[in-house]
Each structure stands twice: as structure tokens, then as C-alpha cells.
Amino acid sequence: MYFKAAITFLLTSATAFANEEAFTPHRITYDALRADPLHIENASILIDSLSQEGIISVTGIPGFRKTKRDLMIHLHACLMDQGDNVSKDIFQDGTIRRTMATVTLP
């Protein structure tokens, strides 16, 4: 039920780490993308960022704050309800990492 919200959250909140320093992806506003649907003005930003880093950060998405809050409220219960249907790794310190993936159907 919350998979769509989870995907949105993961795509827009991804952070990569290199040399123990946080990587900050290039940011572009939702309004800038909407104002340029053919990506004429934003083409170089999109192409350069996606081909070099593989990620961009889209900011100012309407309703995203509520979507993220709703996701975070329900995500733990959703993962726990999946039982053994999700990939689970247990680390030496006792940390349990559960990984959930989705499939897009045509």
C-alpha cells in the first residue's frame, strides 16, 4: 500500500558516501522541471548529473512533506508485516537490515 510512497522517498532522498564525506547530488526544483517539460533549458543539468553521478535531487515537490511523513509513520509496520518475504541481513552487532523491492508492471 505504501510502496509508491516508499519509492518516491527513496528516489528523492538517496545519499551516497565517498571518502567518508557525504555526497550532495545536484538539485533542481520541481517547478523548474514543470516549466521546462521538454528539458530544453535543463537538458545539460539533467544529462550531466545523471551521466556523471547517476542521481539528481528534485526539490519542492508538492505534497511530498506529508507523503514522507505518512511513509515514515507506516514503513516499519509494513516491513514487519512482510515476514520472511523480504531480504534480511543480520550484522555482527545485531543490526537487522530488511530490504524491500518492488516491480513495475506494464
Rounded CA separation 87/101 (Å): 9
What CA–CA distance (Å, rounded) separates 75 from 9?
A: 11
pTM: 0.49
Q: Is beta strand 21-22 parallel, antiparallel or unpaired with respect to 17-18?
A: antiparallel
Residue 18 is predicted with a pLDDT of: 41
Mean pLDDT, 10 residues at a time, the chain of 106 residues: 50 48 83 78 76 87 91 81 78 85 60
Report the pLDDT value the prediction gives residue 19, as an integer from 0 to 100.
47
Q: What is the pLDDT of residue 36?
A: 75
Q: Residue 92: its pLDDT value, please?
A: 93
What pLDDT does 106 receive?
A: 56
